[in-house]
Chain A
C-alpha cells in the first residue's frame, strides 16, 4: 500500500462541492503537487490531510493507519502556510522549538535540532531575530524549518511561495526541492503556478472544480494532457473543433489535420484538437512536400517575450499562435506572408 493514501474523499461547504471522489496514492519520499485554479479544491484537500477540515466521506491512510479521526495536533504532519504564520512574539529559535516543546522534548535536544534545521535552510545567524526583522523569503524558510523540526511523517506546503517576489520564488522552490530530496520526506505541495509545479514535482495532480483532472509526471502532464482543461490550463494551445474523419485525421471546418494521436476515438466523434505554440513551425517559403499539415497565413501580431517571440498568424480567418526563436531564423514583419505546419506527433486529440 502507498505511504499516504486518500480514498473516496468528498467535502462540501454549505452545499458547494469543494472536493469530490478524490482518490490518490502517494509513495514514500515523493513530492506531489496539487495544481489548479483557485477554488479547485486543492487547498481543501491539503487541509483535510492536515486535519483542519474533516472529509464528509472517505478515508485518509498514513503508513497503513486510518488517520481520519486523529485531531490535527496529534497527526505529526508538518505544514507551511502561504502567509508564513510565524509566531510574532517568539524569535526564530523559539518558533522552531515550539513543536518540540509541545512534545516535551529535553532542552538540549530542542536546541540541537533547531541548529540542525537552521543549517539546513542556511539561516544559522538568524536564531535570535524576530519574524518582523526578516524578509519574506527568510520568513518562509524559517516556517519550513519549523515544520521540519518535528520530523513530521508528511510535509504539507500550502502555496508557500505565492506571497514572495518572482526572483525569490525561483530560488526558494529549488531550495525546497533540494531539502525535500535530501531528507526524503513525503511532501504535498499546493500551488496555482504551473511552472512551479512542473519544475519541482515527482507527480503533478491537476485539479478543477473539486475533481482530479489528471495525475502524472510533469512531462506527461505537459506533453500528453488527458483533458482539454489540462491542456489549456498548463501552457497555451491552439484549439480546433471538429470530428474524427478516420483513424489519423480530424476534420475541422474546411481543413483536415493529420494526427498520430487520434487513438481509439471512433470516426464521427466530435473532438477538439490542440497544438501548442512551440509545435507550430513557420516557413518563409512553402515547405517540402513531405511536411504534413501545411497552411498559409499572414502575420497579424508580434509579441516579444525574450527567448521566444510569439506570433499571431491569420490563417484564413483563424488566428493561430506560434512561438518562434528569432535568433534561429530571419526576422519577421507585420503582414508577412508565411507558411506554417503542425507536427502530427504533437496534435493532441480529445473528445469534446
Chain B
C-alpha cells in the first residue's frame, strides 16, 4: 500500500508538512534572512558594510575578544576536566553510582541561567560563604583579586554547565574503545601510556574536538548567566546584542545586527566543525 502511492498522492503528502514549514519560515528562517539583509543595507537602502566597520570599534571588538576568550577557556577546561571525570565515571565499578553521576550531569548541565548565577553569588560573592570562610578562617582575602562578577567569576560559573555537558559527550566515546584494542596493544608490548598515546587518544580525538567546539558554541551563545552575574560590567557579544534590543545603552541598531550576524557565523562554524568531527568519530565505531 505504502509503496504504491501515486505521484499525485506523494505531492499531496508534502502538503502535510506545510503548517510546520510555514511556522519555521515565519519565526526562524525569514526573520534571520531579514536580519542578514538589514545588516548590509543602510537606512537609505544602499548596500553598505558600514555596520560591520562600526563593529571594529574598541568596545565591540573587546566584546568579541571577551566572548571568544571566555568560550575558549571554559570549553578547554570543560574538555580536559570532562575527559578525566568522564573516564572516572566510565570506569566506576558500580552501575548504580555511574547512572547517578550521569543523571546528575544531565540535570546540572541544564542549570545555566539566573539560579546558577545566584548560587555562585551566595558562595563566592563579596559576602559569600566561601569568601567569608577564606577571610575569617584562613585570613585569605580573595577579593578583589577574584570576583564572581568579573571574568574569572564567569569562568567558574560557565564551567559549572560546561563540565557536565562534556562528561555526557565523552562517556559514550569511552564505550567505543574496545577491550580487545587494549589487550592486543598489551600483547604487542605496549604499556598503559603507550596504549593511550598511540591508540586511545587518537581514537578519542574526534570526540574531544567535537566536544570542545560544542562547548565553545554553548558558552558563546549564553546570556542569562552572564547577565545576572555581571549586568553591564563586562562586555560580551550576547550582552551587547541584548542592549540593542532593550535600548538600555544607546546603540545604533545596525551594530547589533552586524554583531548578531557575526555570532551566527561563529556559531555556524562551530556546529560545522562539530558535525565533521562526529562523522570522523563514527568511522571508528563502524569498525
Contacts and interface: CB of A to CB of B under 8 A. Distances in A.
A77 interface: yes
B43 interface: no
Interface string A303-336: 0000000000000000000000000000000000
Chain B binding surface, main DSSP class: helix
Given A98-B198, A102-B194, A85 B188 contact: no
Interface in A100-114: 101-103
Contact of B180 (A74, A83, A131): A83
A15 interface: no
B187 A78 contact: yes
A132 interface: yes
B3 interface: no
Given A102-B190, A102-B194, A79 B199 contact: no
A88 interface: yes
A62 B188 CA distance: 17
Nearest to A78: B187
B186 A73 contact: yes
B287 A132 contact: yes
Interface in B166-195: 178, 180-181, 183-191, 194
B175 to A, nearest CB: 14
A85 B191 contact: no
A8 B185 CA distance: 29
Given A79-B184, A131-B287, A85 B178 contact: yes
A73 B191 contact: yes
Interface in B94-153: none
Interface string A82-94: 1111111110000
A98 B183 contact: no
B251 interface: no
A102 B189 contact: yes
Contact of A83 (B178, B186, B202, B203): B178
B202 to A, nearest CB: 4
Contact of A98 (B178, B188, B287): B188
A90 B180 CA distance: 15
Contacts of B198: 87, 90, 98, 101
Contact of A72 (B180, B187, B194, B199): B187
Nearest to B176: A88
Contacts of A52: 183, 186
Given A98-B198, A102-B194, A131-B287, A87 B181 contact: yes
A81 interface: yes
B283 interface: yes
* Interface range, A side: 20 to 34
B284 interface: yes
Contacts of B202: 89
Contact of A150 (B186, B188, B286): B188
A349 B187 CA distance: 44
Contacts of B287: 86, 88, 131-132
A67 to B, nearest CB: 14
Contacts of A88: 181, 203, 283-284, 287
A89 B184 contact: no
Contacts of A132: 283, 286-287
A50 interface: yes
Contact of A81 (B183, B199, B283): B183
Contacts of A72: 183, 186-187
Contacts of A131: 287
Contact of A73 (B189, B199, B286): B189
A99 interface: yes
A190 B76 CA distance: 46
Contact of B185 (A83, A98, A147, A150): A98
A88 B183 CA distance: 14
Nearest to A102: B189
Contacts of B199: 87, 89-90
A99 B189 contact: yes
B209 to A, nearest CB: 14
B284 A74 contact: no
Contacts of A11: none
A228 interface: no
A31 B3 CA distance: 56
B112 to A, nearest CB: 35
B203 A89 contact: yes
B276 to A, nearest CB: 17
The 7 closest A-B pairs by CB, nearest first: A99-B188, A85-B180, A102-B189, A89-B202, A85-B184, A79-B187, A81-B180
13 contacts: A50-B187, A79-B183, A84-B180, A85-B184, A87-B184, A87-B185, A87-B198, A87-B199, A89-B199, A98-B190, A102-B188, A102-B194, A103-B189
Interface of A: 50, 52, 72-74, 77-79, 81-90, 98-99, 101-103, 131-132, 143, 146-147, 150
Given A87-B199, A88-B203, A147-B187, 9 more contacts: A50-B187, A52-B183, A72-B183, A73-B189, A83-B178, A86-B287, A87-B185, A88-B181, A89-B284
